[in-house]
């Protein structure tokens, strides 16, 4: 459990900073940019964080839950319009999509690293192949 917390904490802090600090800049006069925040900035954050996490650690189905949970706190603090809570499901789906894409990249990176290690090991091994001069006679030709 401690290992998972260590893996999640950096991403959770970055997501929390984006989800909880960004709305401060979009309050008041800048309210017209609120839709940009909810429809582009937050989904991009969920997608990129899922992508980067899965690229480093492989797919983890609990990781995409971080963004929606933090987003619920952002809605309760800043917006007080609960119709924005629909975005919880959107951010969850976008985070899962990022995790799946990152996992595909992670698997291809692992396969590539294994291939490079195999090739390097073959280059480092010195094989000495000696072929002796062997002649085989066919007994059927004597008849």
- Quick one: pLDDT at residue 38? 78
What percentage of the chain has pLDDT greater than the value 90?
1
- CB-side neighbour CA atoms (13 Å) of 95: 26
Q: Return the residue matching tokens 């960004």.
A: 22
- Of 96, 98, 72, 70, the closest CA to residue 85 belongs to 72
Q: What is the pTM of this model?
A: 0.67
Joined together, the tokens standing for residue 103 give 């996992």
- Quick one: pLDDT at residue 41? 85
- Quick one: pLDDT at residue 25? 75
82-119: b or e for each residue (b if 16 or more CB lie within 10 Å)?
A: eebeebeebbbebbbbbbebbbeebeeeeeeeeeeeee
Per-residue pLDDT of the chain (143 residues; tens, 9 = 90+): 787 778 888 888 888 888 888 877 776 665 666 777 778 888 888 889 888 888 888 788 888 888 888 888 887 777 666 666 788 888 889 989 988 888 888 888 778 888 888 877 777 665 555 666 666 665 655 55
The answer to whether 7 touches 42, Cβ cutoff 8 Å, is no
The answer to whether 94 touches 43, Cβ cutoff 8 Å, is yes
């Amino acid at each position: 459990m401690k290992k998972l917390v260590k893996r999640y904490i950096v991403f959770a802090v970055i997501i929390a900073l984006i989800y909880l600090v960004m709305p401060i800049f979009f309050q008041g006069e800048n309210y017209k940019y609120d839709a940009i925040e909810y429809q582009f900035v937050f989904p991009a954050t969920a997608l990129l964080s899922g992508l980067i996490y899965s690229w480093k650690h492989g797919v983890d189905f609990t990781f995409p839950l971080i963004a929606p949970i933090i987003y619920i706190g952002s809605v309760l603090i800043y917006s007080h319009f609960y119709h924005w809570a629909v975005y919880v499901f959107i951010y969850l789906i976008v985070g899962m999509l990022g995790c799946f894409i990152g996992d595909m990249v992670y698997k291809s990176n692992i396969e590539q690293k294994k291939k490079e290690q195999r090739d390097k090991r073959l280059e480092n091994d010195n094989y000495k192949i000696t072929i002796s001069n062997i002649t085989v006679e066919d007994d059927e030709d004597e008849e």
